[in-house]
């Protein structure tokens, strides 16, 4: 056998062995890495997106509850201010009316006799009694409004406590999701540096895209948490104002 034939035979044998090694590497990669990655995508994608949607819905519900409580507190504060002004207005009205009565008494004493003065005093007593009843009614209304405001404040404090507890739970869930994402990131880093892999497989690309989506949604959750905390601080300020009244 000539040297050229031997060289060709050696080249064919080396090529066949290289193809067999490549085929073995591909099969080994599918069994050891690609299949577990696809399985991991199937196991992680649904729970993580479910958690993200659940957290987003909880935040929206809590924001609506807090907004209603803030509006109710503002309305009660306005009612308290209005009711506190009423006794002063009634007192001013009574004082002005008494001055008018004194002037009329003096006038009638000069013009008429004791009989006219007695009749006028009877009318005066009736009018003063009506004003007194009106003042008492206003005070009762104010007291009732104060009681309602106190009940609303207690209810708002309970709502605030409930919201704060739920916010803590949301933060715990968010930390758990973040930890899962960090585990996925570790898998990415490990898979990216595996020897013998020239190109990223489809499973790797899908997992990378899924991880990017989850991280984006986590950023949205962090922003919503910050907004909810701001609303809670506002609600606490409103409750403190109601407590002062």
Asked if residue 186 belongs to a domain, the reply is: yes
Among 125, 139, 143, 144, CA closest to 91: 139
Instruction: Please give the pLDDT value at position 222.
Output: 72
In a domain, 22, yes or no: no
Residues with Cβ within 8 Å of residue 101, at least 6 apart in sequence: 124
Q: Is residue 142 part of a domain?
A: yes
Counting the structural domains of the chain, the total is: 1
CATH number, domain at 227?
Answer: 1.20.1270
User: Is this structure's pTM higher than 0.95?
Assistant: no
The token duo for 11 is 């080249």
Mean pLDDT per segment of 10 residues, for the chain of length 245 residues? 62 70 61 60 55 64 69 66 55 58 55 45 50 57 68 70 70 69 65 52 63 70 71 66 52
> How high is the pLDDT of residue 110?
47
pLDDT confidence of residue 121: 44
- The pLDDT assigned to 201 comes to 56
Assess if residue 227 is contained within a domain: yes
Per-residue confidence (pLDDT) for residue 29, from 0 to 100: 55
Measured over the CA atoms of residue 5, residue 11, residue 14 and residue 17, the dihedral's sign is negative
**Residue 48 to residue 37: CA distance in whole angstroms:** 16
Domain membership of residue 132 (yes or no) is yes
For CA atoms 165, 168, 169, 170, the dihedral sign is positive
**What's the pLDDT at 216?**
73
The label of the residue with tokens 């959750």 reads 221
What angle is formed at CA 90 by the lines to CA 87 and CA 95, rounded to 5 degrees? 125
The whole-number pLDDT of residue 144 equals: 73
What pLDDT, on the 0 to 100 scale, is given for residue 112? 47
Is residue 154 domain-resident? yes
Q: 49 lies in which domain range?
A: 43-244
102 found inside a domain:
yes
* Contacting residues for 104 by C-beta, under 8 A, at least 6 apart: 120
23 part of a folded domain = no
């Amino acid at each position: 056998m000539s040297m050229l034939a031997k060289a060709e035979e050696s080249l064919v044998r080396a090529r066949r062995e290289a193809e067999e090694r490549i085929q073995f590497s591909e099969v080994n990669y599918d069994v050891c890495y690609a299949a577990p990655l696809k399985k991991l995508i199937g196991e992680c994608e649904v729970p993580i997106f479910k958690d993200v949607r659940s957290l987003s819905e909880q935040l929206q519900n809590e924001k609506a509850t807090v907004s209603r409580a803030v509006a109710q507190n503002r309305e009660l504060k306005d009612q308290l201010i209005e009711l506190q002004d009423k006794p002063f207005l009634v007192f001013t009205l009574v004082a002005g009316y008494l001055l008018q009565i004194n002037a009329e008494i003096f006038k009638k004493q000069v013009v008429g006799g004791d009989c006219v003065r007695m009749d006028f005093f009877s009318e005066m007593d009736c009018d003063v009694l009506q004003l007194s009843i009106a003042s008492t009614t206003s005070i009762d209304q104010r007291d009732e409004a104060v009681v309602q405001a106190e009940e609303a404040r207690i209810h708002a404090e309970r709502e605030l406590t409930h919201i704060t507890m739920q916010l803590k739970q949301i933060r715990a869930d968010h930390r758990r999701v973040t930890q899962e994402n960090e585990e996925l990131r570790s898998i990415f880093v490990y898979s990216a540096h595996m020897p013998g892999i020239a190109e990223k497989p489809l499973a790797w690309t899908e997992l990378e895209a899924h991880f990017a989506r989850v991280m984006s949604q986590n950023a949205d959750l962090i922003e919503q948490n910050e907004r909810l905390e701001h609303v809670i601080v506002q609600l606490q300020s409103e409750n403190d104002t109601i407590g002062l009244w």
